[in-house]
Amino acid sequence: MQVTPLDLDGARTVITGAGGHIGQALTRIFAEAGARVIACDVAGADLTAPGITERHHFDLRDPDAVVAAADAITAGGAPQIVISNAGWTRADTMDEVTQDIIPDEMDRNFTGAARLTRALLPGMRDLPGNRAFVFVASVNGLTHHGNPPYSAAKAALLAWMRAIAVEEGRYGIRANAVAPASVRTHAWDYRLERDPSVIERVSKLYPLGRLVTPDEVARSALFLASPMASGITGSTLAVDAGLMAGNLPFLDILR
């Protein structure tokens, strides 16, 4: 059978945060593309979706757990693809940031991802064929849209992605990122509790007039992870309904 560029052809693919909304979309879409999905998330997360071939429960904030998980994953062979998706945020404004929130959000959104990708990286260097990291970052890592510690962590994640792209390119390993804007996931639930109209109001900020979906994020990650993107490394793809292209409310005011 001829392998198409988006056919991952059994590639061992690690997906962190696999139990969340975006993670579930990633798991399904990568499995449909032929990946052997290695789903990772914290204890208690639902990792029962069809297409998952391995499951690992651990907390990215725990360095020892990350090392143990990397050992367990590579016991079955080094992965060809790593999708670093796990993340979390809560503090919307600087006034809501407490001293304990800063390291917690850095661990959830950057440090844990860096530890895991660093642990998995050596085994990928000698593998043949397509090998890729895709980091699920955020437009917050590009410009500020609130959530200060989260924004700082996602900016660090993008810097880490570029470091891998530059230093590991000699081995044929690629690294890229997707930077979603607002995605309708459980992360919005607490905002909806405070203001049921928040999604309707925030949608007006986007040129497409809506939030992006988990599937749109997952399909973008699939492209970057696949041989179709063989010449792309060190890049960040905004999946943002046009948010980074310009300020639509500003133009509306000038009309």
Q: Which are the catalytic amino acids?
A: 150, 154
Using DSSP, how many helices (H) and how many strands (E) does the chain show? 9, 7
Count Cβ atoms within 10 A of the Cβ of residue 126 and give its class: 0-12 exposed, 13-18 middle, 19 or more buried. Answer: exposed
Question: Is the separation of the CB atoms in 151 and 93 below 8 Å?
Answer: no
3-state secondary structure of 168: helix
Rounded CA-CA distance 236/136 in Å is: 10
CA 242 to chain centre: 19
Calculate the alpha carbon distances from 247 to 55, 180, 193, 251 in Å. Answer: 42, 17, 27, 7
Compute CA 160 distance to the chain's CA centroid, rounded to the nearest angstrom. Answer: 13
Distance CA 153, CA 21 (A): 20
Question: What is the strand order of the sheet 52-57 is part of?
Answer: 52-57, 36-41, 12-16, 81-84, 131-136, 173-180, 236-239
